[in-house]
Amino acid sequence: MKDQSASGLGSFLPMLEWAHQYNRDTLVSDLVAAVIVTIMLIPQSLAYASLAGLPPEVGLYASIAPLLLYTVLGTSRVLAVGPVAVVSLMTATAIAEHAVIGSAHYAAVAITLAFLSGAMLLLMGVLRLGFLASFLSHPVISGFITASALLIAAGQLKVILGVKVEGHNFFELVAGLVNQLAYVHAVTAALGLSMVAFLFWARRWLKPLLLFWGLPTRLADALAKAGPVAGIAMTALLTWHFEWHLAGVKIVGTVPAGLPPLSWPQWDMALWKDLAVPALLISVVGFVESVSVGQTLAAKRRQRIEPDKELVALGASNVGAAFTGGFPVTGGFARSVVNFDAGAQTPAAGAFTAVGILLAALLLTPALYFVPQATLSATIVVAVLSLVDLRILRSTWDYSRADFSAVVVTLLVTLAAGVEAGLVAGVALSLLLYLFKTSRPHIAEVGLVPSTEHFRNVLRHKVKVSERLASLRVDESLYFANARVLEDRVNALVADRPQLAHLVLLCSAINDIDASALESLEAINQRLADASVCLHMSEVKGPVMDRLQGTDFLNHLNGQVYLTHFQAVSELAPDMLK
Amino acid sequence: MKDQSASGLGSFLPMLEWAHQYNRDTLVSDLVAAVIVTIMLIPQSLAYASLAGLPPEVGLYASIAPLLLYTVLGTSRVLAVGPVAVVSLMTATAIAEHAVIGSAHYAAVAITLAFLSGAMLLLMGVLRLGFLASFLSHPVISGFITASALLIAAGQLKVILGVKVEGHNFFELVAGLVNQLAYVHAVTAALGLSMVAFLFWARRWLKPLLLFWGLPTRLADALAKAGPVAGIAMTALLTWHFEWHLAGVKIVGTVPAGLPPLSWPQWDMALWKDLAVPALLISVVGFVESVSVGQTLAAKRRQRIEPDKELVALGASNVGAAFTGGFPVTGGFARSVVNFDAGAQTPAAGAFTAVGILLAALLLTPALYFVPQATLSATIVVAVLSLVDLRILRSTWDYSRADFSAVVVTLLVTLAAGVEAGLVAGVALSLLLYLFKTSRPHIAEVGLVPSTEHFRNVLRHKVKVSERLASLRVDESLYFANARVLEDRVNALVADRPQLAHLVLLCSAINDIDASALESLEAINQRLADASVCLHMSEVKGPVMDRLQGTDFLNHLNGQVYLTHFQAVSELAPDMLK
């Protein structure tokens, strides 16, 4: 069953799985993809760094070492690792409590956060704790991503409009923006809003236009992806030409050129303790985002990714970011899809992209001087608005109220109290709702469908029943939270039926019985015995039966265990068969 | 199905269900039971009050109003409400942080705690939140009760030995006792240890002895129950006669005679906030203890109790305790069993007991002056040691390691860090273990048992399979925490089987599919489509199918839903039938 190449060293270094098949064709595909992704990543990296409250060059640094490390350790062939919107926002939130934006301490805390988050991911990978990420349910993730995107967009809108707004949550931000509408900086707003309009237009219409102009498909594709960069270059040129920066348009300014610096996390236990929860949340959110992107893309080529190895790869990427002046990173959706579409065949494309960004960090930074901050914010707003998914409200409302309430609570708490509170509230609520649901299992009294061997709910079907025998089907595994429900149901049944002599539990949907439920069954058995009713069981699953056979319960049982329910009924209440 | 008398006013006032059938026979039975229970309750109430750190008369007060209120509101016919060992210990722990033992403030905090705990129970009853108590699993309760009993016994042993020991946890208490062995107060220890020996002897041998002496069974029974009271009276007489109280034997001393005082909880929000968690834990533990006793006894007479009404009754009892100078109470095991065995027919027996204890509070208190404290401690130790159940360690170890670890963690944390930490740790761990278990569902690949229509695990049985079709049976409801496991399994399967054309999910054990799992199924379907594999489902349960039919999933499904798995296989892989 196992892939040959996955054994031995390859299971530690996923790179070895593809490196030996590397050839000229793969190289060309990877190089082309790398060029396209590099062009797209440069403005995105700058923008996400500023979203995280960090200098723009940090965004470039965070896209170099992590990409290289992922190339060696990652199991996805096309995932591109670097700064992403939601994780950048979470980073900003986590650091805000410890340092002032722009200070050296702020950058040091960002590095420490990347280190902790990376260390946690590595640990989870080594201990194979990847399943922990499953506790972020889809409704919680949806609500969280949508709320984060709205928070980010509201925060960037003030940069686009050139106003100053303070707000501790989404609603305060929006109220502040409305209050400041009279003080909008006209040129900044014109630049920023035109950029937003251009980006939306380019996403939909640039490629068709280029094709219409007769360009070959492949070139049109590549140019369309470079559209945003062209837009940014245009606004920078305009700003330079008209000297708008002297008129109050805020620009990126001097970006130091050079290699990523060697950096160290702070070895400050008090800080580590404070950052532990944010780092954990960043790890888990980053992992979930990365794995779901990776899985979606891998499946398209019948490849697969291994979540526990992904934890190690992402952990190493974050630790790498910490030692090269970066901040928390993960596998991003947009860049990975671009990488995939551009034809990347192996993770080597990521390594080439890293080289491209390294060159940009060395040579291109002077060109960034005149880029207006409003332009970068515009790219963020357009990117994050595509993450807003309000249809989930409608679809979960239709499907299940429990899921709906998880979406709404996560969404509202994130908007009102921030990313960390929102995530924690969402996870806690969805776990409670799940426990609540399983703690009230569906227990149906069933009767015999005439002239068959099938049993159906007496409330829904015309079935045969007997005064002396009751059949209960429990549609849930029995465990501590629902064992008492069964007890109550049985007690009520026995109290209501003076003629009752046999109770048969139909166990076909019981996948497990824990010690508390076993205790309840013992109690039920004892109480039924006191009331002269026999307790029987039918269609007990193999693994459940194995476990029961190790206990005294089957010896105490004052009835029998039947292979099929029909067999139980034929023997105990032959009158029902007539 | 519903009892006639349970409708209308009777559903609010359970008393009306039995009051109209009350007659002379019932009265006599209830009166006899009341006398026996009263005699037993007097020393027990004093002892538990001192365990809670309160003056002895408070124990009497706490056994009057609560009993009367439960008579009117309770649904159990025989439950006796009052101070119990574990709740008294929890009360002492909760108050210790806020007041000094013996101060007026201490008693005021106890009253406030009873009020809060009662208010919470009432609220849970009105909101029908009784199911919350189910989250205390049997292993957690066992571990908790055993640890509490050991804590209580260790704490009382210092009174019995007449030494002073300070200790913040069980291990410190035991170490302290060992260190103080040289300073044991001889007379106190002699009295206390003889009393312990006498109580153990009386429990086992007093009734046989009385019968041997020729007493009628009923009288022997009643006298045997009065044995402990006789023992206490004897030690009091000895102490009075030999003036041991002047030689350092601590005695109960002056117990004020009189009616229970009218008292008020403190309206101090800061205190309420601090007491909220302890009050909640006391409510839940008290409720669980009370309901399990009530259910066990009710079943013996084919009666039943209604947990949500029990919440209201216990809540009212605790609020009653708060307004009459008491402390938190609940339905006790020992006294309820005595009440039941003594032949109590209706809750009126409880009311008569309350009158008996009221008379004791008015008239008997001078007689308590010379009772040695070591004697009361001896009654506590003997009572709680019967709660210690270490066999649970062996039985859960054999049955399930998850349950075993819940017992051990609850036990050790309670011993090491106290009752509140122990309970919280136990509940948290058992919920996590349950989630962990359901997050790794058993997923079996199944094949056709030759010449039948049955399917079995390919790893365990000789079955027929096909290269083109794979059948997966998922033995768990699909929800967010395990949806990804199924995705991983399917991804691995598809990556390993280049010939695969059909995947059929056998859904007979899937009781629910939540929104996250639906999303996963959509993703699986999409990925399988990308890999040219059809996804089918078979034996989907009615409620699950109802829900799926409200969604787009069935339209997207690139395969079909089959009624039976055999049908799916016959159609998709007829070669398997050969």
What is the spatial distance between Cα B330 and Cα B336, in angstroms, rounded to a whole number?
A: 11
What is the spatial distance between Cα B278 and Cα B223, in angstroms, rounded to a whole number?
A: 39
Counted across chains A and B, CB pairs separated by less than 8 A come out at 207
**Residue A549: Cβ within 10 Å count:** 10
Q: Does B137 touch chain A (CB under 8 A)?
A: yes
What is the spatial distance between Cα B310 and Cα A239, in angstroms, rounded to a whole number?
A: 75
Q: Name the nearest CA neighbour of A248 among A93, A137, A372, A407.
A: A372
Q: Name the nearest CA neighbour of B339 among B110, B90, B10, B44.
A: B44
Please, which residues bridge with residue B535 across strands?
B503
Instruction: Give B3-29 as a DSSP string.
Output: -GGGSGGGGT-THHHHHTT--HHHHHH
pLDDT of residue B380: 86
CA distance, residue A75 to nearest chain B CA (Å): 13
Contact yes or no for B138 and A302 at CB 8 A: no
Say which of A2, A395, A434 has its CB closest to residue B479: A434
pLDDT of residue B112: 95
Contacting residues for A122 by C-beta, under 8 A, at least 6 apart: A311, A312, A315, A316, A319
Q: Name the nearest CA neighbour of A42 among A233, A253, A193, A229.
A: A229
Contact yes or no for B491 and A299 at CB 8 A: yes
Token digits of residue A528: 């039924």
Chain A residue with the nearest C-alpha to that of B480:
A137
Torsion B306-B311-B317-B323 (CA) sign: negative
Say which of B133, B487, B550 has its CB closest to residue A295: B487
Token digits of residue B270: 């800061």
Token digits of residue A563: 């292979």
Token digits of residue A141: 């993730």
The helix or strand, by DSSP H or E, that contains position A519, with its residue range, turns out to be: helix A515-530
CA distance, residue A142 to nearest chain B CA (Å): 10
Count of alpha carbons within 13 angstroms of residue B410, beta-carbon side: 30
**Triad B29, B33, B35: Cα angle to 5°:** 120
B414-459 pLDDT per residue, tens: 999 888 889 889 988 988 888 888 888 888 899 998 887 778 888 8
pLDDT of residue B53: 92
CA distance, residue A453 to nearest chain B CA (Å): 15
Q: Does A131 touch chain B (CB under 8 A)?
A: yes
Q: Does A169 touch chain B (CB under 8 A)?
A: no
pLDDT of residue A5: 42
pLDDT of residue A533: 93
Please, which residues bridge with residue B502 across strands?
B469, B534
pLDDT of residue A8: 52
pLDDT of residue B7: 46
pLDDT of residue B11: 63
What is the spatial distance between Cα A343 and Cα A337, in angstroms, rounded to a whole number?
A: 10
Chain A residue with the nearest C-alpha to that of B522:
A296
Which residues in chain A are closer than 8 Å to B139, comparing Cβ atoms? 480, 515-516
Contact yes or no for A551 and B508 at CB 8 A: no
Contact yes or no for A515 and B137 at CB 8 A: yes
DSSP state of B464: B
Which residues in chain B are closer than 8 Å to A550, comparing Cβ atoms? 398-399
Characterize the bridge pairing of strands B469-474 and B502-506: parallel
Chain A residue with the nearest C-alpha to that of B478:
A434
* Best to test chain B binding among A302, A455, A528 (most B CBs inside 10 Å): A302
Q: What is the 3-state secondary structure (H, E, C) of A367-395?
A: HHCCCEHHHHHHHHHHHHHCCCCCHHHHH
pLDDT of residue B108: 93
Say which of A303, A475, A547 has its CB closest to residue B495: A303
Q: Does A472 touch chain B (CB under 8 A)?
A: no
pLDDT of residue A229: 86
Q: Name the nearest CA neighbour of A306 among A290, A317, A328.
A: A290
Given a contact cutoff of 8 angstroms between Cβ atoms, the answer to whether A116 and A281 are in contact is: no
What is the spatial distance between Cα B156 and Cα B89, in angstroms, rounded to a whole number?
A: 11
Which residues in chain B are closer than 8 Å to A290, comparing Cβ atoms? none
Contact yes or no for A300 and B518 at CB 8 A: no
Distance of CA A334 to the CA centre of its chain: 15
Interface of B with A in 39-78 (CB under 8 A): none
Amino acid at B37: V
Given a contact cutoff of 8 angstroms between Cβ atoms, the answer to whether B84 and B326 are in contact is: no
Contact yes or no for B400 and A511 at CB 8 A: no
Interface of A with B in 292-321 (CB under 8 A): 295-296, 298-300, 302-304, 307
What is the spatial distance between Cα A206 and Cα A227, in angstroms, rounded to a whole number?
A: 8
Given a contact cutoff of 8 angstroms between Cβ atoms, the answer to whether A352 and A30 are in contact is: yes
Distance of CA A564 to the CA centre of its chain: 43
| Crossing angle of helices B138-161 and B170-179, rounded to 10° | 20
CA distance, residue B480 to nearest chain A CA (Å): 5
What is the spatial distance between Cα A168 and Cα A414, in angstroms, rounded to a whole number?
A: 11
Phi-psi region of B538 (alpha: psi -120 to 50; beta: other; left: phi over 0): beta
Contact yes or no for B442 and A483 at CB 8 A: no
What is the spatial distance between Cα B346 and Cα B340, in angstroms, rounded to a whole number?
A: 10
DSSP state of A151: H
Instruction: Give B191-246 as a DSSP string.
Output: HHHHHHHHHHHIIIIIHHHHHHTT--HHHHHHHHHHHHHHHHHHHHHHHHHHTGGG
Contact yes or no for B484 and A133 at CB 8 A: yes
Own/partner long-range contacts of A30-33 (Cβ < 8 Å, ≥24 apart):
A30/A344, A30/A345, A30/A346, A30/A348, A30/A349, A30/A352, A31/A349, A31/A352, A32/A342, A32/A343, A33/A339, A33/A342, A33/A343, A33/A344, A33/A349, A33/A352, A33/A353
Given a contact cutoff of 8 angstroms between Cβ atoms, the answer to whether B536 and B505 are in contact is: yes
Instruction: Give B365-400 as a DSSP string.
Output: GGGGTT-BHHHHHHHHHHHHHTT---HHHHHHHHH-
Q: Distance of CA A486 to CAs A480, B245, B271, B358, Å?
A: 11, 55, 39, 40
pLDDT tens for chain A, residues 1 to 578: 334 444 455 566 777 777 778 888 888 888 988 988 898 888 889 889 999 999 999 999 999 999 999 988 988 888 899 999 899 999 999 998 888 888 889 999 999 999 999 999 999 999 888 777 778 888 888 898 899 889 989 989 999 999 988 888 899 999 999 999 999 999 999 999 999 999 999 888 888 999 999 889 888 887 888 888 889 899 999 999 999 988 888 998 888 888 888 898 988 888 999 999 999 999 999 998 888 788 778 767 767 778 888 999 999 999 999 999 999 999 988 788 888 888 888 888 999 999 999 999 999 888 889 999 999 899 889 888 888 888 889 888 988 888 999 999 999 999 998 888 898 899 889 888 888 888 888 898 999 988 877 788 888 788 899 989 999 998 888 988 888 889 888 988 888 888 899 999 998 888 889 988 998 899 899 889 988 899 999 988 878 888 898 888 999 899 999 988 888 999 999 888 87
Provide, for chain B, the percentages of residues in helix, strand and coil under a 3-state DSSP scheme, each rounded to the nearest 5.
65, 5, 25
pLDDT tens for chain B, residues 1 to 578: 334 444 455 566 777 777 778 888 888 888 988 988 898 888 889 889 999 999 999 999 999 999 999 988 988 888 899 999 899 999 999 998 888 888 889 999 999 999 999 999 999 999 888 777 778 888 888 898 899 889 989 989 999 999 988 888 899 999 999 999 999 999 999 999 999 999 999 888 888 999 999 889 888 887 888 888 889 899 999 999 999 989 889 998 888 888 888 898 988 888 999 999 999 999 999 998 888 788 778 767 767 778 888 999 999 999 999 999 999 999 988 788 888 888 888 888 999 999 999 999 999 888 889 999 999 899 889 888 888 888 889 988 988 888 999 999 999 999 998 888 898 899 889 888 888 888 888 888 999 988 877 788 888 788 899 989 999 998 888 998 888 889 888 988 888 888 899 999 998 888 889 988 998 899 899 889 988 899 999 988 878 888 898 888 999 899 999 988 888 999 999 888 87
Which residues in chain B are closer than 8 Å to A482, comparing Cβ atoms? 134
Q: Phi then psi for A440, rounded to 5 degrees?
A: -125, 70
Confirm whether the ipTM is greater than 0.85.
no
Contact yes or no for B399 and A518 at CB 8 A: yes
Characterize the bridge pairing of strands A443-448 and A455-457: antiparallel
Token digits of residue B229: 């009271």
Say what percent of chain B tops pLDDT 70: 98
